[in-house]
Amino acid sequence: MEDLTGKTAVVTGGGSGIGLGIARALAGAGMRVAIADVEDTALERARASLEGSGGDVLAVRVDVTDRAVLAAAADQVEEAFGKVHVLCNNAGVLVGGSIDEMAYADWDWVLAVNVRGVINGVQTFLPRIAAHGEGGHIVNTASLAGMSTARGMSVYTASKFAVVGLSEALRADLAGSGIGVSVLCPGVVDTNIFDSGRNRPDAMRSETGTDVYPMVRHLPEEDRAARMERVLSAALDPAVVGEIVLQGIRWNEPFIFTHPNLESMVESRHAAIADAFERWSRYRAEQGI
């Protein structure tokens, strides 16, 4: 979508971090922006910070795991701003820990927000975007963890691989419809996702998952702070991510990457897959099967 001025966007997880960065960029491009978030304080703070940023702003409290609430929010956005053209399914959470440490509650919460939340967003807004026939765009936030695995992030990685696959399938299904689909795969960004447990429902709490930064949990406790300082010192400003997403929408990019310097993480996985194809092809030829 090249011309975004005057059109309406919905950004879930828009109260802070990447979602707020995306909302700021879209508003700066002249869009009417509805930010949706489960956290009231962050939502109001974000709304105030976006005032005067270029486009009209609406703040709506939404739990993306609740389909009825999401549908009501969609009605509210359309009543305030009219037809929705851009949907950014950005709400996400993280639980650290290896897969053998996880409880059902950890899986239930992360998959409910990171995967079912994206599905709910698509199911709620796609029919509305398709109905007006003016085209649109959907951005689903995954992660580089949806392209390559890392220690201590088993549940999160599974959820983000699912978002990548969902987005690729959705893009294929919508080809030729005028509705583009992108999957955002950021590296480390300066957000509070590592503190996402603050919004975790009591019914989905466990004693196993942890808010300790997943990439350092395998290290001795005395080494964790120094490693995380190095990691976070390179964390990208969410405002920069927002500008990258804005360009991704304009280009209808299938994949939006924020950290091109981390390309080797993805390349190594693809190389392992290619090696496996070659190995099994050779085995079948040798065995005559």
Question: Which residues carry out catalysis?
Answer: 156
**Where are the strands (E) in the chain, listed by range?**
8-12, 32-37, 57-61, 84-89, 136-141, 179-185, 255-257
Residue type at position 193: I
| Bridge partners, residue 212, by sequence | none
Rounded to whole angstroms, the Cα distance separating 182 from 178 reads 13
End-to-end Cα spacing for the chain: 49
Q: Which residue has the tokens 């399914």?
A: 89
Q: Is 167 helix (H, G, I), strand (E, B) or coil?
A: helix
Rounded to whole angstroms, the Cα distance separating 130 from 152 reads 40
Centroid of chain to Cα 68: 21
Q: Please, what's the largest Cα pairwise distance for the chain?
A: 69
Q: Could you tell me the CA-to-CA distances from 285 to 24, 275, 277, 289 in Å, in that order?
A: 56, 15, 12, 7
Q: How many of the other CB atoms lie within 10 Å of CB of 277?
A: 9
Q: How many of the other CB atoms lie within 10 Å of CB of 180?
A: 22
| Bridge partners, residue 180, by sequence | 137
On whether the CB atoms of residues 231 and 131 are closer than 8 A, the answer is no
Tokens of 16: 């802070």
Residue type at position 105: A
